[in-house]
């Protein structure tokens, strides 16, 4: 289908509760820190965010992403002896124990089970080394170019490094997946414990889920080498923020300060309302000549005082289409762009049903067109 691209710049759109006043500068104990809007990638505050540091168990954010994209959630994952004897925080897997991949992922993200990360890595890639390569490749594809993973758990290794900015990019990418969002925002989960007379009851170690309004992720981390680390996140009024603190003396306070600072700088702006008419398309062989295309959903974007004009909408839809057409049928898409980055899409659907002309109707239309042509050119 031939499509035409039309760019529409939206100016002066409604910003809910907008304020031009930014929060005062914040003081943090973290060696590296950042708060970023997940949808646009806009950095709202950063402190030494490009320096490579050890990520500890915040590594598991990428473990989750790769597992979701490469694994089958219903697969039964068997814990090897290598997995079951992994040092550090644990899901208490026994050699030969089997759990569904999805249950393993909850064990990884809620209580930081290092043993589960090894079991998952071996199940998907055959070894932790091969799985770690997938993790690094995915990080680089996301844009986290200063990251290198050598294991799935975050246990110390001189070559296992990332940056605060890279971790924010990775977490922001994760929020594109609804199941990622569901897992990292879960406060309590019960999963099986084969061989026991009771199930495992998992409580999320990330206190931000109840300390901070709108808190919905992501992962804690600690080793002697990395210090206290936290990737946190929150969603308010449709704005998804991600904050990262690495090697922090007071990671909860630092993270709360970052997220509050971020929300003070951003306001939701309605780019498109459900039902907005964005294009009229010509119809061939139909009982009507045109049909209107409308947006199927709302699109709200986060704006700050200095980037309100950086958003635009690109419409992809045919200039004409052949009947029949059904009301609600998808005939195009509108893409919302922030600078050169796509940050959201919405389907464009037909407002009406248009039936195809009958044979005699098409024949009469051809005769009438010929008659009109003759009159116009030879009369």
| H or E stretch at 360 | helix 359-378
Contact between 252 and 268 under an 8 Å Cβ cutoff? The reply is no
| H or E stretch at 35 | strand 32-37
**Alpha-carbon span 197 to 195, nearest angstrom:** 7
> Which whole-number Å values give the CA distances from 163 to 41, 274, 376, in the listed order?
15, 39, 72
Which residue out of 32, 57, 89, 255 is catalytically annotated?
Answer: 57
The DSSP code sequence of 120-183 is HHHHHHSSHHHHHHHHHHHHHHHT-TT-B-S-SS----TT-BB-HHHHHHHHHHHTTSHHHHHH
**Alpha-carbon span 120 to 131, nearest angstrom:** 9
- The SS3 assignment for 190 reads strand
Catalytic residue list contains 369: no
Catalytic residue list contains 57: yes
Which residue out of 42, 47, 60, 357 is catalytically annotated?
Answer: 60
Strands (E), 209-289: 215-223, 227-236, 239-246, 267-272, 277-284
Q: What are the residues whose beta carbons fall under 8 Å from the beta carbon of 205, sequence distance 6 or more?
A: 110, 111, 112, 220
**Alpha-carbon span 235 to 165, nearest angstrom:** 19
**Alpha-carbon span 373 to 375, nearest angstrom:** 6
**Alpha-carbon span 238 to 269, nearest angstrom:** 10
**Alpha-carbon span 185 to 187, nearest angstrom:** 6
**Alpha-carbon span 265 to 34, nearest angstrom:** 14
**Alpha-carbon span 71 to 138, nearest angstrom:** 14
Which residue out of 32, 89, 112, 185 is catalytically annotated?
Answer: 112
Radius of gyration from C-alpha coordinates of the chain: 26
Catalytic residue list contains 60: yes
User: Token digits for 196?
Assistant: 């026991």
Catalytic machinery residues = 57, 60, 112
């Amino acid at each position: 289908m031939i499509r035409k691209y039309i760019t529409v710049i939206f100016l002066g759109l409604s910003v809910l509760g907008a304020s031009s006043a930014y929060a005062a500068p914040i003081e943090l104990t973290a060696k590296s820190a950042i708060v970023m809007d997940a949808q646009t990638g806009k950095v709202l505050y950063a402190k030494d965010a490009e320096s490579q540091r050890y990520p500890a168990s915040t590594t598991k954010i990428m473990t989750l992403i790769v597992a979701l994209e490469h694994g089958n959630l219903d697969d039964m994952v068997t814990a090897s002896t290598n997995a079951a004897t992994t040092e550090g925080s644990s899901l208490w897997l026994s050699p030969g124990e089997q759990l569904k991949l999805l249950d393993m992922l909850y064990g990884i993200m809620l209580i930081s089970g290092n043993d589960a990360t090894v079991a998952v890595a071996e199940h998907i890639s055959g070894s932790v080394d091969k799985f770690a390569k997938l993790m690094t490749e995915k990080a680089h594809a996301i844009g986290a170019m200063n990251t290198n993973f050598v294991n799935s758990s975050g246990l110390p290794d001189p070559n296992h490094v990332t940056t605060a900015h890279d971790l924010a990019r990775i977490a922001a990418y994760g929020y594109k997946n609804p199941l990622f969002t569901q897992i990292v925002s879960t406060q309590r989960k019960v999963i099986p414990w084969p061989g026991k007379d009771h199930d495992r009851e998992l409580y999320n170690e990330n206190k931000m889920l109840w300390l901070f309004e709108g808190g919905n992720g992501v992962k804690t981390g600690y080793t002697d080498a990395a210090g206290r680390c936290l990737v946190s996140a929150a969603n308010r009024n449709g704005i998804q923020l991600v904050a990262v603190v690495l090697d922090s003396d007071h990671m909860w306070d630092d993270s709360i300060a970052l997220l509050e600072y971020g929300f003070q700088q951003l306001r939701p702006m309605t780019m498109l309302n459900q039902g907005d008419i964005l294009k009229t398309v010509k119809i061939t062989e139909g009982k009507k000549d045109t049909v209107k295309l409308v947006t199927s959903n709302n699109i709200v974007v986060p704006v700050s005082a200095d980037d309100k004009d950086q958003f635009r909408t690109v419409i992809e839809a045919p200039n004409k289409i052949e009947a029949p057409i059904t009301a609600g049928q998808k005939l195009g898409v509108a893409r919302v762009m922030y600078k050169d980055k796509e940050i959201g899409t919405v389907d464009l659907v037909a407002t009406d049903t248009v039936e195809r002309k009958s044979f005699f109707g098409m024949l009469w239309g051809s005769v009438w067109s010929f008659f009109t042509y003759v009159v116009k050119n030879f009369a």
